[in-house]
Structure 1
Amino acid sequence: MSAEMDALVAGATQKLEALEAALYGLKQVRGQFTTEDGMVSAEIDSDGALVGLQLTEAVTSLPPAEAAQLIIAACRQAAEQAGNQRSEVVAALNESFAPAAQNLPETTGSAPSGM
């Protein structure tokens, strides 16, 4: 019985550590993108929020619609990067749970012999 309990505690500990690692990893997610001309840089966090936007002085010489398109394109690329990083963190978490589920002892639902 003690070995089974030790195995359960170890499994729960591993899952907790995997969850903590995933939470930490999600907090570290940052998608960053700078346009080829360097006029616009955007940074997106793991929640998809814009946390940084830098524009060079050269943006002011563009027509507003063109400047808007550059900003939107930079934000879209940064968001895609952040989404990819987030997916990697979640995939790693899923992988850490998959082997644990396969290692659990099988239960048949029958009573032990002798009862």
Structure 2
Amino acid sequence: MNEAMDALEARVHRQLNMMRDLGDQLAGIRVRETSPDGTVTAEVDGNGSLCDLAFTEAISKMSPSEFEAVVVATAGRAAHLAIARRGEMVTAFNRELAESLPGVEPGH
């Protein structure tokens, strides 16, 4: 019985560490995307939230609608990439967690 409890405790600690690692990885996601013309750079986190926005002087030659379109498109691409990265991390975590559970097939 003691051996089984030790094995259970070790497995729970491994899984807890895996969850902590995932949390750290997700918190560390940062994606920077620059517009094709190089005028706008957006940085977002793993939730797709805007963290930084930078412009070059070339924006002064844009109309307000052009400026808006470039900012929205650039930030949108960055958010899309960040969310995709987040999804990949969660999928890898789920696969690894399933592999660590006895009697559970990955993908179920």
Counterpart of 1:49?
49
* Contiguous gaps of at least 5 residues in structure 1: 105-115
Q: When the two structures are superposed, what TM-score results if normalisation uses the length of structure 1? A: 0.84
Q: CA RMSD in A?
A: 1.3
> SS of the counterpart of 1:102?
coil
Moved over 2 A (4+): 100-104
Q: How do 1:70-85 residues align onto structure 2 when only pairs under 5 Å count?
A: 70-85=70-85
Counterpart of 1:61?
61
Counterpart of 1:89?
89
Q: How do 1:1-115 residues align onto structure 2 when only pairs under 5 Å count?
A: 1-103=1-103
For 2:46, the aligned partner's letter is S
- Count of equivalent residues: 104
Partners in 1 of 2:2 and 2:88 — Cα distance?
A: 36
* Contiguous gaps of at least 5 residues in structure 2: none
Answer whether contact 2:33 2:42 (CA < 8 A) is retained: yes
Answer whether contact 1:31 1:80 (CA < 8 A) is retained: no
For 1:42, the aligned partner's letter is A
- Deviation of 1:103 after TM superposition, in Å, equals 4.7
Partners in 2 of 1:92 and 1:18 — Cα distance?
A: 11
What percentage of aligned pairs have identical amino acids?
A: 33
Q: When the two structures are superposed, what TM-score results if normalisation uses the length of structure 2? A: 0.90
Answer whether contact 2:39 2:55 (CA < 8 A) is retained: yes
- Deviation of 1:102 after TM superposition, in Å, equals 2.8
